[in-house]
Amino acid sequence: MAKNVLLPNHLICEPRAFGRLRASEIYAEAAERRIALLSGAGPTYEIGERLIEELKLKPSQINRLVCPDNSLQTIDRLEAEAQSHFTEMIIGVGGGKALDAAKVVGARLNVPVMLVPTALSGDAICSPVGSVRVSPDKSISIAGTMPWAVVIDLEVAAGSPVRLWSAGIGDLLSNKTALADWKLAHRAAREKIDTFACLIADHAIEAFIHAADHGNESKEALLRVTAESLIMSGMAMAIAGSSRPCSGSEHLISHALDAYCGGKALHGEQVAIGLLIAEWLQGNRDSGSSMRPYLVRFGLPTHYEELGYSKEEMILAIRKAPTLRNRYTVLNETELTADHIGRVLDAVFTTPR
């Protein structure tokens, strides 16, 4: 039997995308609906106002909701507020948390969701997976709604802090180790693999690397390929029905840093550190194929101390990482004693900061 996969109906990813909205089908479909627009309270609130103006939405149809975080309490509150206004569509405007909340609230209310990422900070910009903080120290990925429309204005993304873009590149590069882990799990007869999802996730990262190595190296061109590759990663997750093609041991390490060591850095930055450990454990120790040069080039950390973590915290996180999700990775085939992990860390991060 062939598989049904939900993909966005509308995808606009270009400079000045907002200016194209009125001529798009999105305009007609949003015009008569009661809409809950989720954003942050700062710059993304203003971007939300621009969007309302571009879509010529009437004040009476808009319920503006501020999403300060992606905690379960916040999502419950947003859901109740959206429900009390008989919401027929959710629009999420922001860098990450508002997008996560929009997907989850949209799934709960069974209404279409439009995502308007204001920064390219991760692969949540076009995926059916939402990250929800269920306790002060723990976030989980849960199934949300695949967005009905995704609008990425690359001029808006270019105006976001460069650190967010770097984090998005870290999240994208991690497809490499995530795919290697998935193949490892398949070889160990622990998990089914979806070849098509692997293909899409692999092409996403290869397209970015190719552009970075051989293409036009202008900021605009690299922003575009970052956005497109993150979108492709989201498609791979939709095909797989889980975050598996884009989330392996490097993500487990990042989740453990959040859960046990205070989550001191951005998701994509922590994933980048996890990536260096994962690729080494996976046997990829050749400087010619390591992702390290891309971390350096795109301003990502290459040592955990840059993110404020100690060696002891890293050892704790790596030991705890496999317990955070039922996902077979190279960590399941690694001796997780403090001594051994300490030696791995010394080998991967040879130069202390």
Q: Which is nearer to Zn ion, 145 or 233 (CB)?
A: 233
Return phi, psi of residue 243, to 5°.
-80, 5
Q: Which is nearer to Zn ion, 137 or 312 (CB)?
A: 137
Task: Kindly state the tokens that stand for 221.
Answer: 């061109």
Least CB distance to Zn ion at residue 310 (A): 23
Helix, strand, or coil (residue 74): helix
Q: Which is nearer to Zn ion, 171 or 228 (CB)?
A: 171
Subset of residues 151 to 210 that bind Zn ion, contact rule: CB under 5 A? 171
Least CB distance to Zn ion at residue 141 (A): 9
Least CB distance to Zn ion at residue 227 (A): 15
The size of the interface with Zn ion (CB under 5 A), counted in residues, is: 1
Whether 126 contacts 13, CB under 8 Å: no
Taking CB atoms, the residue at the shortest distance from Zn ion is: 171
Least CB distance to Zn ion at residue 189 (A): 26
Contact between 250 and Zn ion by CB under 5 A: the answer reads: no
Whether 344 contacts 280, CB under 8 Å: yes
The half-sphere exposure of 284 on its side-chain side, counting CA atoms within 13 A, is 16
Helix, strand, or coil (residue 195): helix
Least CB distance to Zn ion at residue 98 (A): 17
Helix, strand, or coil (residue 259): helix
Q: Which is nearer to Zn ion, 39 or 175 (CB)?
A: 175
Least CB distance to Zn ion at residue 215 (A): 24
Q: Which is nearer to Zn ion, 95 or 112 (CB)?
A: 95
Least CB distance to Zn ion at residue 246 (A): 6
DSSP E strands: which ranges in the chain?
Answer: 10-14, 35-39, 62-66, 89-94, 113-117, 129-135, 138-143, 149-153
Q: Bridge-partner residues for 90, per DSSP?
A: 36, 113
Helix, strand, or coil (residue 192): coil
Whether 126 contacts 234, CB under 8 Å: yes
| Residues whose CB is less than 8 angstroms from the CB of residue 44 and which lie 6 or more positions away in sequence, other chains included | 93, 94, 95, 98, 118
Q: Which is nearer to Zn ion, 171 or 181 (CB)?
A: 171
Q: Which is nearer to Zn ion, 82 or 178 (CB)?
A: 178
Q: Bridge-partner residues for 66, per DSSP?
A: 39
Tell me, what DSSP letter sits at residue 95? S
The mark string for 23-62 relative to Zn ion (x by CB under 5 A, - otherwise) is ----------------------------------------
Query: Given the rule CB under 5 A, which residues bind Zn ion?
Result: 171
